[in-house]
Amino acid sequence: MAKILLVEDNEMNRDMLSRRLMRKGHEVAMATDGREGVDMARSGEYDIVLMDMSLPEIDGWEATRRLKQAAETQALPIIALTAHAMAGDRDKALEAGCDDYDTKPIDLPRLLGKIEALLGSTT
């Protein structure tokens, strides 16, 4: 099972998604803004980051860029979680360096599939 860092400012979303992931047997750590997310990711404890895009302090795109620019976090897979499937969000997320993206509301089986795919390819 994977160690997942969930960066999400909305408490309800954070609570809901983390509990569902944990129910599937994953370990979940949480950050509530972009800066915290970047700091936690640098610890190297996590297999994958689920990154909300509209975050306080620094937003998800900027946080992703920083992680992908730093050598020690370059290989850390990041899945962008965007709000309602706004056209262009996918491009923007991929441009920022995200490895994949998914849209909210989260369809759990689909998200799990993406996590599995990324971790399968990196491990």
Partner 1 sequence: MTDQASPGITSERLIPGRGGVARRQAALLRLSTAIAAAHDEAAIYRSVVTGLRDEALGYNFIGVFVVDDDTGDRVLKASVGWPDVPDDWRVPFGKGLSARALEDGKLHYTADVTRESEYLPSLNSGSEVDVPLRVDDTTIGVLVVESSEPNAFGGEDFEILTAAANQASIAIGRVRLLADERRRADEHKALLDTMQDLVGELELSRVLQAVLERAVSLLGVTGGEVAIYEEDRRELVVVASENIGKNSTGTRLALGEGAMGAVAETLEPLIIPSYHEWLGQSGKYADVTVHAVMAAPLLIGRRLVGAIATVHSDPNRVFGPEDLRLVNLFAPQAAIAIENARLFTAERQRAEEQRALLATMTDLSSELELSKALQAVLERAVTLLGVTGGEVAIFDDATQELEVVASENIGKDSTGTRLTMGEGAMGVVAQTMEPLIIPSYHEWLGQSGKYADVLVHSVMAAPLLIGGRLVGAIATVHSDPERIFGGEDLRLLNLFAPQAAIAIENARLYTEARQQRKYFETLVDNSPVAIVTLDREERVVSCNPAFERLFGYAKQEAIGTNLDALITTDATRSEAEGYTREALNHPVHGIGRRSRKDGSLVDVEVLGVPVIVDGKRVGLMGLYHDITELLRARQAAEDANSAKSQFLASMSHELRTPLNAIIGYSEMVQEEVEDLGHDELGLDMQKIHTAGKHLLSLINNVLDLSKIEAGKMDVYAESFEIRSMLDEVAATARPLVDKNHNELVVRAPLDVGSMRTDLTKVRQMLLNLLSNACKFTEHGTITLEVAREAPATDGRAELVSFSVSDSGIGMSPEQMDGLFEAFSQAEASTTSRYGGTGLGLAITKRFSQMMGGDIQVQSAPGQGSTFTIRLPVEVAVTPTGATPD
Smallest separation, CB 16 to partner 1 (Å): 4
Least separation in angstroms between residue 21's CB and partner 1 is 10
Beta strands in the chain (DSSP E): 3-7, 27-31, 48-52, 78-82, 100-103
Q: Smallest gap, in angstroms, from Cβ of residue 116 to partner 1?
A: 15
Q: How far apart are alpha carbons 48 and 96 in whole angstroms?
A: 16
Name the token pair of 68.
Answer: 């992908």
Using CB under 8 A, list all residues that contact partner 1: 10, 12-13, 16-17, 19-20, 23, 84-88, 90-91, 104-106, 108
Q: Which is nearer to partner 1, 67 or 118 (CB)?
A: 118
* Nearer of residues 3 and 19 to partner 1, judged by Cβ: 19
CB neighbours of 97 closer than 8 A, spacing ≥ 6? 64, 65, 67, 68, 78
- Closer CB to partner 1, 21 or 38, in the complex: 21
